[in-house]
Structure 1
Amino acid sequence: MQLPQEPLPLRDIHLPPNPSWWPPAPGWWVLLAVVCGALMAGYLLYRRARRARLWRARVLTEIRQLADRHAHDDVAYATSLHQLLRRAAWRYAADAHHLQGDPWRQTLAQVPVDDATLDTLMTLEARMYQPYATFDRTAIEGAVHRWLQAAWRHVKPLEKSHA
């Protein structure tokens, strides 16, 4: 005996619901982390470059003010530039404020600059104590600026002196 075949009451195929937008897929989290890291690195690099630019501007302004203040007095100008160098050299030697001669040159040499710059900087000391020593203002300003820029880039931790 055969039963009459009735169509089965099947419903049409239903698609699953669309995926929720939250929480995002792991790839979006990785992309967010990369973007945040890039923004933070960009901000830190910008801040560092801005600080260096401001520092350079302050140093150049100070050198220019010293040159204007001591326009006709080479001894006072050499003394002022020498004091500026000593303040900057304090990062490299705690006793930089009273070094003279070869120990002072060794302190200056801790910053990676060429020997011509060191020789030019050493003429400051000679000019301070010998009023008629040779003195080229342009060369001295350039050497001071080069040394200070190199000192800013090359920061060495202050070593403890054995006193």
Structure 2
Amino acid sequence: MSLVSDLEQLRELPSPPMPSLWPQTWGWALVLTLLLVLVVAGLLFWRQRRKTNAYRDAALAELDVLEAQWRRDPVSTAPLRDIPELLKRAVLNRPGNPAPELARMGGPDWQGELQRMAATPLSETFAESLADLAYASDETLTRLDAAAVIAECRQWLETHHDPV
């Protein structure tokens, strides 16, 4: 036999099978399962938090609209007069069952409730400013620092919590 005939008898070897992409040990399957559980738990937590804070987001969006209306026409007091009602609706629409007496609360009791729910202490003039927004004449409201009141309302809406 010659070298040429020996070379002609050579055949190409078949390729080995592709390795499986699935883990070969149970440890990796456990890690993947735990990772999947963590992702699902995180998504459920995120969804619940969004659902819980939906009332807060709606109130902040409405406050943005009221502020934009007021900034377009600073002489008009109508947008400012809606702010106390907005805060009351935010308290009454939060998750859980708000106490029925909250709906009937007014004056110093209501201001005290807002103060208890605030994450940071409200200014001493906040209660008076809200009372002015609800009941004072238009002339009184023109002298009010509306931008500061709106900013404090925004801070309260963003950071308030249920009193314990």
Unaligned runs of 5+ residues in structure 2 are 1-21
The question of whether the paired residues in 2 share the 8 Å contact of 1:79 and 1:128 is answered with yes
Instruction: Name which of 84, 88, 91 aligns with 1:89.
Output: 91
Aligned positions, number: 134
Matched with 2:159 is: 150
For 1:156 and 1:30, the matched residues in 2 are separated by 42
Question: Could you list the per-position Cα deviations for residues 112-145 of structure 1 after superposition, in whole angstroms to 9, with x for gaps in the alignment?
Answer: 3333346425411133222226421111111111
C-alpha separation in 1, matches of 2:52 and 2:155: 14
Cα distance in 1 for partners of 2:117, 2:57 equals: 20
**Amino acid in the other structure paired with 2:89:** R
In 2, Cα distance between the equivalents of 1:41 and 1:142? 35
Partner of 2:62: 62
Asked whether the equivalents of residues 80 and 133 of structure 2 are also in contact (C-alpha less than 8 Å), the reply is yes
Q: Does 1:73 align with 2:76?
A: yes
Which position in structure 2 is the counterpart of 1:111? 117
Query: What TM-score does the superposition give when structure 1 sets the normalisation length?
Result: 0.61
Once the two structures are superposed, residues 70-111 of structure 1 have per-residue CA deviations (whole angstroms, 9 ceiling, x without a partner) of 53233x333200000000122454333332221011211231
Q: Is the 1:78–1:125 contact (alpha carbons within 8 Å) kept by the matching residues of 2?
A: no
Task: Give the fraction of aligned pairs with identical amino acids, expressed as a percent.
Answer: 23
Tell me if 1:140 matches 2:149: yes
Q: Which residue of 1 aligns with 2:131?
A: 125
Q: TM-score with structure 2 length normalisation?
A: 0.61
C-alpha contact (below 8 Å) 1:60/1:145 kept by paired residues: yes
Of 50-59 and 88-97, deviating more is 50-59
Structure 1: gaps (5+ residues)? 1-21, 158-163
User: Bigger radius of gyration, 1 or 2?
Assistant: 1
Structure 2 Cα separation of the partners of residues 106 and 94 of structure 1:
16
Superposition RMSD in Å: 3.6
Post-superposition offset of 1:56? 6.2
Query: 1:68 and 1:25 mapped to 2: Cα distance?
Result: 60
Equivalent residue runs for 1:12-51 within 5 Å:
25-47=25-47
Shift of 1:53: 8.6
